[in-house]
C-alpha cells in the first residue's frame, strides 16, 4: 500500500499542484484547508507524512505542528512545513516546534518530492521499499509480483492491496474498519463482511498444502499478519 500524505494548505492551486505530483508518484493524498479538518483527518486515519502550511485560517501551522507533536499517535509523524517566511529565525522557530523539514515558497516541486521521499524512507521504509518480505511471502512492487518460496501467487487487485497492507503492518492487530479504510478507502460503501470474504480468498491463494497461514484471526478484534507464523 502506497504511503498516505496529508496536505494542510488553504491555497487551492498549490494543493492541486502538489497533489498532482504526489499522486503521479504513486502516493495516496488527502487535503485539509484548516486546523479542524486537519485534526479530524489525523484522528480518522493516520497518514505517513504531513505537508503543512504555516499561514492558515483560524490557526497557524505552528499550532497544528505542536498538536501533532503532543499526540501519542502522531508525535513521530514526519512534517514538512511550507511558508513564505524565509528568515532564518522563522525557519528555526518552525524546526524547534517539531517540523522535520522546512521549505520557503515559492519552491521547486521536484525538491519537495525528493524531501518527501527522503523523510518517508527514514520514517516508513516499508512504504517505499521496492520489495516487501514478511511471513515467508515476498511482494515485488515494481513487477507487481507475489511469491512464496519458488511459487508465484496470482492475486486480484483487491487481494493484492490487502496482502500489501497486511505485510506493511505485520504484527499489528488490524480491525475490519482499518482494513476497509486503508484497502478500499474512506468513500467505499462496502461493509465489514466484505473484508472477511476477501481475507478468505487471500488465505486460499497464499496457503498451499502444509504451508502455514500468516494471517491470524483475533476474535472480537480483527486480523494480524504474523511475520514468523508457526507451522500448522
Q: Are residues 9 and 122 in the same domain?
A: yes
The torsion angles phi and psi of 146, rounded to 5 degrees, stand at -120, 130
Q: What pLDDT shows up at residue 86?
A: 61
Residue 127 has pLDDT above 90, yes or no: no
pTM, rounded to two decimals: 0.61
217 in a structural domain: yes
Domain end, chosen from 127, 147, 167, is at 127
Q: Are residues 8 and 122 in the same domain?
A: yes
230 in a structural domain: no
Q: Are residues 162 and 55 in the same domain?
A: no
Residue 227 has pLDDT above 60, yes or no: yes
Residue 232 has pLDDT above 60, yes or no: no
Q: With bands split at pLDDT 50, 70 and 90, how would you rate the model's confidence at 1? A: low
- Secondary structure string (H, E, C) spanning 204-231: HHHCCCCCCCCEEEECCCEEEECCCCCC
- Among 53, 50, 43, which Cα is nearest to 79's? 50
Per-residue pLDDT tens over the stretch 15-36: 999 999 998 887 889 999 998 9
- Rounded to an integer, what distance in angstroms lies between the CA atom of residue 232 and that of residue 229? 9
CATH number at residue 221: 1.10.10.10
231 in a structural domain: no
Residue 60 has pLDDT above 90, yes or no: no
Q: Are residues 77 and 107 in the same domain?
A: yes
Q: Are residues 80 and 30 in the same domain?
A: yes
C-alpha cell at 175: 480491525
Q: Are residues 106 and 192 in the same domain?
A: no
More confident residue, 86 or 194: 194
Q: Are residues 23 and 121 in the same domain?
A: yes
Q: What pLDDT shows up at residue 183?
A: 84
C-alpha cell at 171: 504484527
In this prediction, residues 182-204 reach a mean pLDDT of 82
Residue 91 has pLDDT above 80, yes or no: no
CATH number at residue 119: 3.40.50.2300
Residue 56 has pLDDT above 90, yes or no: no
Q: Are residues 65 and 88 in the same domain?
A: yes
Domain that includes residue 170, residue range: 129-225
Domain count, the chain: 2
- Among 105, 12, 7, 106, which Cα is nearest to 47's? 7
Amino acid at each position: 500500500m502506497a504511503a498516505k500524505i496529508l496536505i494542510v494548505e488553504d491555497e487551492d492551486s498549490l494543493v492541486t499542484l502538489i497533489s498532482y505530483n504526489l499522486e503521479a508518484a504513486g502516493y495516496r493524498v488527502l487535503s485539509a484547508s484548516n486546523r479542524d479538518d486537519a485534526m479530524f483527518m489525523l484522528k480518522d486515519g493516520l497518514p505517513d507524512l504531513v505537508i503543512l502550511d504555516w499561514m492558515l485560517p483560524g490557526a497557524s501551522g505552528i499550532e497544528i505542528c505542536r498538536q501533532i507533536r503532543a499526540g501519542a499517535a502522531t508525535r513521530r509523524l514526519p512534517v514538512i512545513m511550507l511558508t513564505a517566511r524565509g528568515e532564518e529565525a522563522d525557519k528555526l522557530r518552525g524546526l524547534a516546534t517539531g517540523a522535520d523539514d522546512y521549505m520557503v515558497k515559492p519552491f521547486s516541486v521536484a525538491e519537495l518530492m525528493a524531501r518527501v521521499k527522503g523523510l518517508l524512507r527514514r520514517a516508513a521504509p516499508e512504504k517505499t521499499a521496492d520489495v516487501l518480505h514478511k511471513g515467508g511471502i515476498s511482494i515485488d512492487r515494481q513487477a507487481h509480483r507475489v511469491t512464496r518460496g519458488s511459487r508465484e501467487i496470482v492475486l486480484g487487485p483487491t487481494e493484492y492491496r490487502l496482502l500489501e497492507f497486511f505485510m506493511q503492518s505485520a504484527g499489528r492487530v488490524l480491525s475490519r474498519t482499518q482494513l476497509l479504510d486503508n484497502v478500499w478507502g474512506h468513500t467505499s460503501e462496502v461493509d465489514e463482511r466484505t473484508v472477511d470474504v476477501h481475507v478468505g480468498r487471500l488465505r486460499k491463494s497464499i496457503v498451499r498444502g502444509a504451508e502455514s497461514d500468516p494471517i491470524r484471526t483475533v476474535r472480537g478484534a480483527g486480523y494480524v499478519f504474523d511475520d514468523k507464523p508457526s507451522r500448522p
